[in-house]
A and B are shown apart, each in its own frame.
Chain A
């Protein structure tokens, strides 16, 4: 069964460093998303991406964050100058159609620990 894959599964970084989280969405999907979950809290929407551009972003997704689809398969989340409060599980998701009608498939997550 097709699945969303994420790497790394866990990354530890020093405050102020840049981090890139990688995702390989399901191959025929057109819509891509990043969500995050701080330990013990709700999953929160960060950004959606369609047709090689951001279609929607939350207030969390400020200039510190960026997303990119550098080739036909990868979808990346870059976090510049990481802060302690960026420590969280980051989930990538993809869907064939918009969330109005489509199923979102989530990856297993990348746990980011900022020290």
Chain B
């Protein structure tokens, strides 16, 4: 079954610290893997998108990695800010379909 699992479910860090969020997927074959940020009650906003041949992609303080062999991805956030408090969702596109398969997300809270 095509699934996307994320860990941890929730994370609390202090402002200025770094953190890494994990994603494991069983979607196969897949076209690309994305990370989205979703504020409570808002729509998802894209952070990164990687094809199966890419290992890493950065967007400012966000760096995503992908290991297509082990079917794992991570999102590293550097020097966290209060505005980083949100859910971070790993999303995998099933190959040759329009369907994005969403993970359950990691709820990140950044405290001063």
Chain A contacts to B: CB under 8 angstroms: 4, 31, 33, 35, 41-45, 48, 55-56, 58, 89, 91, 93, 98-101, 103-109, 111
Residues of B within 8 A of A105 (CB): 46
CB <8 Å contact, A56 and B98: yes
Interchain CB contact (< 8 A) of B98 among A89, A99, A106: A99
Cα distance A35–B100 when bound, in Å?
9
CB <8 Å contact, B99 and A58: yes
CB <8 Å contact, A56 and B100: no
Cα distance A103–B44 when bound, in Å?
12
Which of A91, A104, A111: most chain B Cβ within 10 A? Answer: A104
Closest residue of B by beta carbon distance from A49 = B98
CB <8 Å contact, B98 and A109: no
Interchain CB contact (< 8 A) of A99 among B42, B44, B100, B102: B100
Residues of B within 8 A of A93 (CB): 43
State whether the Cβ of B41 lies closer than 8 Å to any Cβ in chain A.
yes
Given A45-B99, A91-B44, A99-B31, 17 extra CB contacts under 8 A:
A35-B100, A41-B104, A42-B105, A43-B44, A45-B98, A45-B101, A48-B99, A55-B98, A56-B97, A56-B98, A89-B41, A99-B32, A99-B100, A100-B31, A100-B32, A104-B100, A106-B43
